[in-house]
Structure 1
Amino acid sequence: MENALQATVIENMGVLDLTSKKTDDLSGISEIRNVGVILAPQFLMDALLKVPQKNVGMTVTIPDTPGKIKLLTGQLTLSGEIFANSAGSEEDILVIAGQTIITSPIENVGFNEIIIAGQLIAPKVSEAALAGAVTKLAGQIAYYHSQLPRLFLGNDSLPKAFF
C-alpha cells in the first residue's frame, strides 16, 4: 500500500487500510474509487472526506487509542482465544474486516473495543460475551449451535443423500 498512497488515484481494493497513515499522506491522492472498505483513524477523517470517492462500500472510523490496533482482514478461521488478547493490553482495539468463522467459544474479551466490518460466524454460547464487546458493527454476526459450522459459499454441489 505504500506505493498506492503515492499514486494519484487509489482504486480496485477490497480493504484500504489507512490506520498507520498521517494527514499529509493523503495530500497527493486525487481520488479513491472501487474500494470495498476504508479503515481510517478518527484523526484522519477530515482529510479523508476531502478526497473525492466513487464506489466505496463503507468507511469504518477507528477511534484513537493509547493501545494497539489489531487488524484482521480477509476470509479467516480463528479460535475464540483470539478475543482474550492475552499478549496485549486492555486499551487495544480489535478490527475484523471480511468473513470470519470463530471455531471455539469466546470465553474472555481482553480488548477495549471490537469493530466488525463484514460477517462474523461464532458459537451461540459466545453471544453474550461478543455482543457486550462489539462497539461498531457494519455487517452481521451469525451464531451456530453445533460443535463446528459447515459453511457453503455457493460453489458446492451436494448429493441428495446429504439432505
Structure 2
Amino acid sequence: MDFEKEFNFKNSFEANKHIKTEKKESCTITKEVKVPPKSCIKAIDYVDYVENIEIPSEATAEITASSDHFKEDGTIKKAEVDKDAVKLFLKENNFQGKIIRSEVNSILAKVSGTFCGSYFLRTYRKLEDMIPKIPENTVSIEHLESTRI
C-alpha cells in the first residue's frame, strides 16, 4: 500500500512573496583609434546608463511541483505531482498570476512584477585634435640624430 505525504514544494517558491534575484556585471569597452602620423588627439569616451530604474514587467512561468511518496517497503521516492495538485497549491496560496495553460505535470502562468536595476544604454567617443598636424615633409629631431655620421 502506498500513501502520500503532504506536498513538499521547493523553498525558493512561495506564492505572493517578493523574490529578489541579484546579478552584478561589469562592462569593459575596447575601441581602436587610428591616429595619423605626426598628430596628437584627445579621446574622450562616454557611457550612457540608467541607475535604479523600476519598470513593470511580465513573464511566463512554468510551475511544477514534486512530493515525497512513501512506498510500502519504507523507501521514499520524489515524484512530480499532476497539474491539479499544482493548481490546488496555487489557489490555497492566493496566487495572483493568470494561468494560461495546463500541461500534464505543470502550469504555464503569466506573472507580473517590477524590474529594479541599472543598465548600460550606449557608449560613444569624442576625438579632439590637440595640436595642429606637423607637415609630412618635416623631419623629427630623433630622425636627424639617428642619421648623423
Query: TM-score, normalised on structure 1?
Result: 0.20
Structure number with higher relative contact order (C-alpha < 8 Å, ≥ 6 residues apart)? 2
Pair member with larger Rg: 2
TM-score (norm 2): 0.21
Which has the larger helix fraction? 1
